[in-house]
Structure 1
Amino acid sequence: MPTDILLEVSNLCKSFGSLAVLENVSFNLRRGERIALIGPSGSGKSTCLRAINYLEPPTKGDVVLEGQVIGRRRNGQQMSDREMAPQRAEIGMVFQHFHLWPHLSVSENIVLQPRKVRGMKSSDARALSAQLLSKVHLAHKADEMPQRLSGGQQQRVAIARALAQQPKVLLFDEPTSALDPELVGEVLTVIKELASEGRAMVLVTHEISFAREVADRIIFMDGGRIVEEGDAKAVLDNPQSPRLKQFLASLQLSGGGHG
């Protein structure tokens, strides 16, 4: 395997009964690369993201991180959640909805990850929490409870929590779709800053202008399949498939691709 390939997704399929949600989805993510998955609602983007870390076990196909098959033992059987925990620690996930622990302070939400996942000493975990809250511009909110934060602030805490497990790749599942429009920018700014650090990311987003700015590559999905992929600016500025042309035109008609 080439040393620059971090994550390999091979022939990923997912069905719910007779409904095929993913059909033979394959792509590689290189170290430091950012890939944006775009496409209409129901195209399989979020399912693909959840299948990568086996929150949604694929029906068929392989996910390989640095040469290690995710989610399956050598005999092909699916791992238990306990067996999979060290692998999931390498794949940070930021969800649409923030899933913060409501009974824990902002800092405690973040400290929990490195202590539980990495076995980090409490003092080291607290130092890491402070460092990451500064990174997401929330150092002044360390002792607040999540319900006292805005949606944008809660999502930035969720990003810090994902970073606290020190993952090799970050997955973002429409991280701004649950936010009021005026709060979207503060979250996108933090993601751009992380991208500028050379972190490997796969982002599912409806924010097409953001995808164009932050992604190296775009993958356009429709009907559970990859329809078109390539350099982000080339794909968005000069789409080749009629379906992608139609999709981008519909976004422009509805207000410029921010929905």
Structure 2
Amino acid sequence: MLQSLLSVFGERKATPPTGFRIGGASFDTADMEVEPSSDEVGRLVGVRLALTYEDSKGDRTRRLIVVEKVSRTAAGEYCLQAFCELRQARRSFRVDRIVEIIDTRTGEVHEEPEAFLSDLLLVAKMQRTKKRTPSEDPTSVLLRESTEGLTVLLYFGHADQHLKRQERRILWSYLDWQQDRCSIRGRVPRRSVNSWMDAMLPDTYQFSDALEKVLNSERVHRNHVLSRIPEIVLADGVVDSEERNRLQSLLELLEQQF
């Protein structure tokens, strides 16, 4: 397995792929397996929004913010984590207190914040889900069972800020394998999961936490995830500097572990 990862360093270096930027990431619509949604709600990380927000006293204010993520508190409240331009600091906004959102990219007004933030809410929900219930749909179960593996793979998939068709195929190969391994019955709609993967942009800490869980998971799962990493990196036939840096860090960690 280490040899497979090491072989990546023998590949030629190339300039990062070009595309258009939405929400801090670059995408090429020609490489998408499905049509992107019209309002691009699945790619909001890094996007500047104008919020009308109602505080606990009922007072309303307008805030310009830059989206980071949605998180869920222990009490079950969903909060939009963002950089607030007014306060010049990171702030948390309860989603149920957001009255209105204006997308500064288009000027479009969204009066149903939860619908506009649906993909980020899905990410937060999957990260907090602890136990399976009989009423859970197969998509929720599959994402929960695969969150750590997907986080590791997406850390490399998003390294060049460009999820390509070949990379999506590898990610779906892992998900199909997981669905079979975990005996998850039912249809999993690819469009919604593709939106989830677009919204899931792991940082270094999320990657480290997910990798530790993968390394401590069943051997067959651990080996399957690790073997997919070089496939993800080499999916477009080139390796850029950021992918090399992330691979080098992974190799150093694996050499300590094994």
Q: TM-score, normalised by structure 2?
A: 0.29
| Structure label with greater radius of gyration | 2
Q: Which one has the bigger helix percentage?
A: 2
Task: Give TM-score scaled by structure 1 length.
Answer: 0.29
